[in-house]
Amino acid sequence: MHAQKKKLVLIGNGMAGVRAVEHLLKLAPGKYDITIFGSEPHPNYNRILLSSVLAGGASMSDIVINDWDWYKENGIALHTGDPVTKIDTTSKTVESKKGLKLAYDELIIATGSNPFMLPLPGADKEGVIAFRDIQDCEKMIDASQKYKKAVVIGGGLLGLEAARGLLHLGMDVHVVHIHHYLMERQLDEAAAKMLQRELEAQGMKFLLQKNTASIKGKRRASGLVFSDGSEVDGDLVVMAVGIKPNVELARAAGIEVNRGIVVNDFLQTSEPGVYAVGECAEHRGIAYGLVAPLYEQGAVLAKHLAGAETDGYHGSVTSTKLKVSGVDVFSAGRFDETPQTRSLKMQDDMSGTYKKLVIQDGKLVGAVLFGDTSEGSELFSIIRKGESVEGREKELLLGFSPSQAGGGASKESRLLAMPDDEIICGCNGVSKGTIADAITSKGCNTVGAIKSCTKASASCGGCKPLVEGLLQIYSENAGEPVKEGICGCTTLSRDEIVAEIKRMELMNIYEVMNVLGWSNPEGCSKCRPSLNYYLGMLYPDQYVDEKESRITNERYHANIQKDGTFSVVPRIYGGVTSPEELKKIAEIAVKYEVPLVKFTGGQRLDLLGVKKEDLPKMWEDLDMPSGHAYGKTLRTVKTCVGNTFCRFGTQDSMGMGIKLEKAFERLNTPAKVKLAVSGCPRNCAEASIKDFGVIAIDGGWELHVGGNGGVHVRATDVIGVVKTEDEVMEWASAFLQLYREEAIWNERTAQWIERVGLDYVKQKLEKQEDRLALKERIEHTLSLTTDPWKQIVENKELRKNFEPLPATQPATL
């Protein structure tokens, strides 16, 4: 007979609690019936990456750690959007908001923390929010569409991440901080000042040593008033001043609470069978807010619940390695200077790097790195071990060398010397031992495979060099260059895949995956769309596009919004329209009760809030080409009025823009492509941050390539100067086709040019016969395309796909 499973209930579906469950499932599979209650309507996601969602660098699906299927596969009953409201430790039951009552044998409280909201006059006004979860991100995104000025209270990590995201959303952002420099908990003053300069260059504005007295405004916030009488305007106020452990549920149950829920070395609370882990727990007087300590707690708790041997949790020496708005920073230990410490510093303002080491009693007790954080893990290891560094302090400052005792002669020897429990990936709490085991026991011989198996390097990517180093040590291919495929399903690169498709004339996605030995026969969300693109690019005449391998937006030819409705953008060539066209769009917006009509940055009209079932009929009524605002294709060609009206214009930029847009609409590309044409060097159409930009000069056109105005701004490179419009079309065609044929799927032209080099692109386009051959290939591909909405309007079977979204479908960012 099988022993009856114990009932384990986890309150909180966050990172710390679910990590404990992950460990428990590995150590004691089948020992517990597990139920998880979460307050949010989402599966377990990485809260660290919320700033990436806000900045547009990630979607909700990108930051999910364990998807819905993971819970089903592991037999876990998950109740989302249903927080526990009562714990009865006498009857050993919990009750949820929706009225569910459940018994437990073991209970884990992982309620995390709440954002600290300053009790200011006016804090209850509309437009005053925290930055803690997906819902806060949604509020910020909504506010950015209606308002332009934001104020962030708090110059710590969270505040700066919020500010960066709001800046990306097009808002004017002020950061208010009570201290005289930023991030004082993670950086010293010198590093903080360097960071401030970098962020000011990105557009952030700072108000330091300011104490907020009240939030002004009537019903909605309109700014802040400071204690010195000065003010700042802002329609959105984000409080990012810290967090406090969420302990009310435990306190109401009679569980001992101090600042957090008091736990011992085995994460046990004052009540038998009740444990606490994560930001809500207080261990030896400390409540931790960083991921690595919380994951260490989870590992100990899992061992204890599994009956495995553990000497308990003894606290953590913390380190912070992160990227703040594109800038690498690292700190560990105690980096403040006292009479008992000595410090060594090295600062290079030209290269934007800074390094500070703090020594006490011959030991390294703290470090701060700015700009170059590659030595962070090694320094942190020395701090944790408490080893003597006497006699080699300057060598540590100048960089690791063979003469360092214990430092090792190489990165390889230093990695070998690391203990197995040393955390390599701080974002996901993955240790050296876990990665080594994945390589030696599970056959993970690429960075992508390790990422899929352990989640190491899956978040910020800062630990990727260390993961590659471990691959070099433990892989069967040790000593060979680390090879990373396009995803975890294959070790093959883009060039290798394309070459094999051509060599063996492989004609469909499943054939490619089967013949080329995919580890996952079904592929994944990264490789299937890329293979679909490569096959279509190589065989435009024969390959049939596989719709199910495209992302949601491309399948429905519209941008899905967070509430499940869609955004429709008809094409308006070069931003030039007519009264008749405007009238038609207005009438259709009224007919389909469109909630919001917005001018886009690409000089078009966006109809937002359209129901899925209305899409085919709406396009039929519009009878306009799709603006492809959703796909990896030509999005827009932005133009100024040029010499048609402007007194500074030297050429017809509107005519040139319309010509380019009509030539390349419907063109499938590795990533989205944006063009612009400016009628004079004043560059009002911002052609110098587009994938292909054209700027009129006296007697000709200056051609620009590889620009990007998104999260990672990149100015264009000038690829040449031509005299005629036909030459512009020739170069544009050749450049775009070269990019189509040689770039990696999902790689923007900016990234592609940085990877292959501008000289390479110039060389490929130098000869006219090569340009004309590329032009011929792109024109042939375009001749085979039709507007997707024409197909859907005319095909009854395709129209059946446009049924209403299920009411229960979670909102998608």
Cα–Cα dist 64/43, whole Å: 7
What φ, ψ does residue 275 adopt, rounded to 5°?
Answer: -125, 160
> What per-residue confidence (pLDDT) applies to 323?
63
Average pLDDT rounded to a whole number, residues 406-421? 63
Strand ranges (DSSP E) for 501-633?
559-560, 566-568, 596-599, 605-610
CA 494 to chain centre: 23
CA 708 to chain centre: 17
Cα–Cα dist 505/251, whole Å: 67
Q: For 164-200, what is each residue's pLDDT tens digit?
A: 889 888 899 999 999 999 999 889 999 999 999 989 9
User: Does 345 or 322 have the greater pLDDT score?
Assistant: 345
Lowest mean pLDDT among 304-318, 514-528, 629-643, 694-708: 514-528
Q: What token pair was written down for 53? A: 């969602």
What φ, ψ does residue 209 adopt, rounded to 5°?
Answer: 55, 45
Write the CA distances from 186 to 67, 211, 294, 368, integer angstroms.
Answer: 32, 21, 18, 8
> What per-residue confidence (pLDDT) applies to 805?
42
User: Do residues 561 and 609 touch, judged by C-beta distance below 8 A?
Assistant: yes
What φ, ψ does residue 555 adopt, rounded to 5°?
Answer: -70, -35
For residue 241, give the nearest of 317, 309, 169, 179 by alpha carbon. 179
In the structure, what pLDDT confidence band is assigned to residue 408 with cuts at 50, 70 and 90?
A: very low
In the structure, what pLDDT confidence band is assigned to residue 722 with cuts at 50, 70 and 90?
A: very high
Please give the single-letter amino acid code of residue 615: L
Beta bridge partners of 568: 607
Cα–Cα dist 161/176, whole Å: 13
Number of H-type helices and E-type strands within the chain: 28, 36
What φ, ψ does residue 123 adopt, rounded to 5°?
Answer: -65, -15
Contacts of 59 (CB under 8 A, 6+ apart): 53, 812, 813
Write the CA distances from 94 to 9, 87, 109, 233, 318, integer angstroms.
Answer: 9, 5, 11, 46, 34
Please give the single-letter amino acid code of residue 406: G
> What per-residue confidence (pLDDT) applies to 405?
36
> What per-residue confidence (pLDDT) applies to 743?
94
Please give the single-letter amino acid code of residue 204: M
Annotation-wise, does 444 bind a ligand? no
> What per-residue confidence (pLDDT) applies to 789?
77
Q: For 42-79, what is each residue's pLDDT tens digit?
A: 898 888 778 777 766 666 777 788 888 899 999 999 99
Q: What token pair was written down for 392? A: 């080699």
**Per-residue burial over 300-334, b = 16 or more CB atoms within 10 Å of its CB, e = otherwise:** bbbbbbbeeeeeebeebebbbbbebbebbbbbbbe
Cα–Cα dist 503/516, whole Å: 12
> What per-residue confidence (pLDDT) applies to 800?
67
Locate tokens 């018994």: which residue? 103
Query: 808: burial class by Cβ within 10 Å (0-12, 13-18, 19+)?
Result: exposed
Could you give the domains of the chain?
6-114+245-306 (3.50.50.60), 128-240 (3.50.50.60), 317-409 (3.30.390.30), 494-550 (no CATH), 627-786 (3.30.413.10)
> What per-residue confidence (pLDDT) applies to 392?
84
> What per-residue confidence (pLDDT) applies to 698?
87
Residue 325 has pLDDT above 70, yes or no: no
Q: What token pair was written down for 567? A: 């955004």
Percent of the chain with pLDDT over 90: 52
For residue 731, give the nearest of 690, 701, 697 by alpha carbon. 701
> What per-residue confidence (pLDDT) applies to 335?
84
Lowest mean pLDDT among 223-237, 389-403, 793-807: 793-807
Annotation-wise, does 524 bind a ligand? no
Annotation-wise, does 463 bind a ligand? no
Cα–Cα dist 192/208, whole Å: 12
Beta bridge partners of 431: 423
Angle between helices 749-756 and 758-765 (to 10 degrees): 90
Count other C-beta atoms under 10 Å from residue 466's C-beta.
Answer: 24
Residue 672 has pLDDT above 60, yes or no: yes
For residue 160, give the nearest of 196, 210, 119 by alpha carbon. 196
User: Does 551 or 244 have the greater pLDDT score?
Assistant: 244
In this structure, are strands 221-226 and 106-109 parallel, antiparallel, or unpaired? unpaired
> What per-residue confidence (pLDDT) applies to 375?
82
Contacts of 803 (CB under 8 A, 6+ apart): 612, 613
Residue 386 has pLDDT above 70, yes or no: yes
> What per-residue confidence (pLDDT) applies to 585?
93
> What per-residue confidence (pLDDT) applies to 770?
96
Query: Dmax over Cα atoms in the chain, in whole Å?
Result: 91
> What per-residue confidence (pLDDT) applies to 811?
39
Cα–Cα dist 268/384, whole Å: 25
In the structure, what pLDDT confidence band is assigned to residue 812 with cuts at 50, 70 and 90?
A: very low
Cα–Cα dist 218/125, whole Å: 8
> What per-residue confidence (pLDDT) applies to 806?
42
Locate tokens 């201290």: which residue? 179
Average pLDDT rounded to a whole number, residues 739-758? 92
Lowest mean pLDDT among 275-279, 456-460, 679-683: 456-460
User: Do residues 661 and 671 touch, judged by C-beta distance below 8 A?
Assistant: no
> What per-residue confidence (pLDDT) applies to 797?
67
Start-to-end CA span in the chain (Å): 48
> What per-residue confidence (pLDDT) applies to 483?
63
**Mean pLDDT estimate for the chain:** 87
Write the CA distances from 570 to 365, 588, 604, 615, integer angstroms.
Answer: 60, 12, 8, 12
> What per-residue confidence (pLDDT) applies to 407?
41
Query: 170: burial class by Cβ within 10 Å (0-12, 13-18, 19+)?
Result: exposed
Annotation-wise, does 427 bind a ligand? no
For residue 420, give the nearest of 410, 430, 407, 411 by alpha carbon. 430
For residue 658, give the nearest of 685, 683, 676, 679 by alpha carbon. 676
Cα–Cα dist 410/479, whole Å: 14
Q: For 529-542, what is each residue's pLDDT tens digit?
A: 899 999 999 999 99
What φ, ψ does residue 332 adopt, rounded to 5°?
Answer: -155, 150
**Per-residue burial over 592-614, b = 16 or more CB atoms within 10 Å of its CB, e = otherwise:** bebeeeeebebbbbbbbbbbbeb
Cα–Cα dist 54/813, whole Å: 10
Average pLDDT rounded to a whole number, residues 307-321? 84
What is the SS3 assignment for 305-321?
HHCCCCCCCCCCCCEEE
User: Does 275 or 5 have the greater pLDDT score?
Assistant: 275
Cα–Cα dist 296/242, whole Å: 22
